Amino acid sequence: MSFDYDLFVIGGGSGGVRAARVAAGDTGAKVALAEEDRYGGTCVIRGCVPKKLMVFASEYADMVGDAQAYGWDIKAGAFNWGHFRGKMHAELDRLEGIYRNILKNNGVESFDARAKLVDAHTVELSDGTRKTAKHILIATGGHPVKPDIPGAELAITSNEIFHLETLPKTMLIVGGGYIASEFAGIMNGLGVKTTQFYRGAQILRGFDDEARGLVCEEMCQAGIDVHLGTNVLEMRKEGDQIWVKATNGEERLFDHVMFATGRAPNADDLGLEALGIERGRKGEILVDDYSQTGVPSVFAIGDVTDRVNLTPVAIREGMAFVETVFKGNPTKPDHELIPTAIFTQPEMGTVGLSEEDAAEQEPIDVYSTSFKPMQQAFAGRAQRVLMKLVVSKASRKVLGCHIVAPGAGEMIQLAGIAVKMGATKEDFDRTVAVHPTMSEELVTMKTPVRSA
């Protein structure tokens, strides 16, 4: 049977672009890709990249104060959102161009269209044309969802925050995950009076308790009004503002409300049901260890499969798919010991098990130290950092490493290599400290603070 293409990829985000590029570029496969919106997907257009630029922008406020403490005769001026937003979007346009060119330069034919499946080897584009392919890869990502409460339409999500006309004076951020907590820090740093509601007992659920506790404490110290155990009941427009009634009985007005209360896979209206492709409880596409759906010619990777929703993971899944299907080398994407950063202020870097999860698994020793870092302490800031290792009593392997500190994302990338290699506490100990740094504490902690 002959097909138009060897591979048709639906979705031009992190996972889809990488799979298409590698399949076409490395193996000479005939590849096409459809993208209904902008190339680069969530990460480049409305996720990691613009978010990190906003984190950078928001951190300068404190730097001016620190510089003064170090003797610099400088004064903080006002933050110009319009100037920054223009530059940020110009940068995103540039990156989108790069993604388009990557596809073109590797011989991938791209269609600016929505695509859906018609049968196991056919996709239909939004203009009605149909294309056939030996393999179809679904990499359609996800989207933010708002809770079903009165007035929810008045709120924005992370999709809209990058396009605000003006910066609000006051903002409520609802949610306790990494996106909500990161934007609380960003907005606060940019001078917006920021409130965060989270219905749970502590933000950043699933991460190490001690680490997330410190992040929350520092966020409050920095001026964010964090309300735990609190959710929004209803909202309505009141003049230019939004009236919010909270579950704690409070009624307050905000210029903007942002929901960061969850994301759902983009798997509706893709024609999956007709093909019998199964979906999970959250609507995600169910795949096996090789990202294959129940229909052998159809694979799915990235956020639409809701495994580990991070850009480098979508990319790894895309590359493993190409290895398996186009290079004859069956490869499972590795979801173990993924280092990751949360760009809150302070930042958190983490790899492996939290103290709580490790303690459920086996007896552990916990090495942990919290202190005021030299650079900020000199400037008179009370900020604290945390360096923590969770160690197996039996094997002495480091099961988890958790860092809360400026630059924690950069540190955990490197600590992640050691943990992935199976380093023991003694391997950390025989590594000479880099002095004076914050992370030297990771190799100088002598006695466990507790065992469990």
Interface residues toward ligand FAD, by CB under 6 A: 10-16, 34-37, 41-43, 47-48, 51, 114-116, 139-141, 158, 179, 266, 270, 302-304, 309-312, 314
CA dihedral 73, 79, 83, 87 (to 10 degrees): 80
What element of type H or E holds 170? strand 170-174
Distance CA 118, CA 70 (A): 65
Given the complex with ligand FAD, which of 34 and 351 has the nearer CB atom?
A: 34
Residue 176 Cβ, how far from ligand FAD at the closest point, in Å? Answer: 15
Q: What are phi and psi of 430, to 5 degrees?
A: -85, 5
Cβ pair 353, 359 in contact under 8 A:
no
Cβ pair 393, 374 in contact under 8 A:
no
3-state secondary structure of 21: helix
In order, the DSSP letters of 330-379 are ------SS--EEE-SSS-EEEEE--HHHHHHHS-EEEEEEEE--HHHHHT
Residue 260 Cβ, how far from ligand FAD at the closest point, in Å? Answer: 8
Residue 165 Cβ, how far from ligand FAD at the closest point, in Å? Answer: 19
Cβ pair 103, 95 in contact under 8 A:
no
Distance CA 404, CA 435 (A): 18
Angle between helices 48-69 and 81-105 (to 10 degrees): 140
Alpha helix segments (H runs only) across 11-47? 14-27, 41-46
Residue 363 Cβ, how far from ligand FAD at the closest point, in Å? Answer: 33
Residues 6+ apart with CB under 8 A from 51: 158, 179, 182, 183, 186, 343
Q: How open is the CA angle 310-314-316, to the nearest 5 degrees?
A: 115
- How many residues would you count in the chain? 452
Residue 230 Cβ, how far from ligand FAD at the closest point, in Å? Answer: 22
Q: How open is the CA angle 195-49-192, to the nearest 5 degrees?
A: 25
Query: Whose structure tokens read 């590797």?
Result: 106
Cβ pair 165, 142 in contact under 8 A:
no
Residue 380 Cβ, how far from ligand FAD at the closest point, in Å? Answer: 30
Given the complex with ligand FAD, which of 159 and 247 has the nearer CB atom?
A: 159
Given the complex with ligand FAD, which of 19 and 445 has the nearer CB atom?
A: 19
Residue 235 Cβ, how far from ligand FAD at the closest point, in Å? Answer: 21
Q: What are phi and psi of 10, to 5 degrees?
A: -105, 110
Distance CA 101, CA 162 (A): 24
Q: Rg of the chain over CA atoms, in angstroms? A: 24
Given the complex with ligand FAD, which of 184 and 391 has the nearer CB atom?
A: 184
Beta bridge partners of 341: 349
Q: Which two tokens stand for residue 22?
A: 């590698």
Tell me whether residue 435 is one of the annotated catalytic residues: yes
Given the complex with ligand FAD, which of 10 and 92 has the nearer CB atom?
A: 10
Residue 215 Cβ, how far from ligand FAD at the closest point, in Å? Answer: 15
Given the complex with ligand FAD, which of 263 and 425 has the nearer CB atom?
A: 263
Give me the catalytic one of 83, 143, 227, 435: 435
Residues 6+ apart with CB under 8 A from 73: none
Residue 27 Cβ, how far from ligand FAD at the closest point, in Å? Answer: 20
Kindly list the catalytic residues.
435
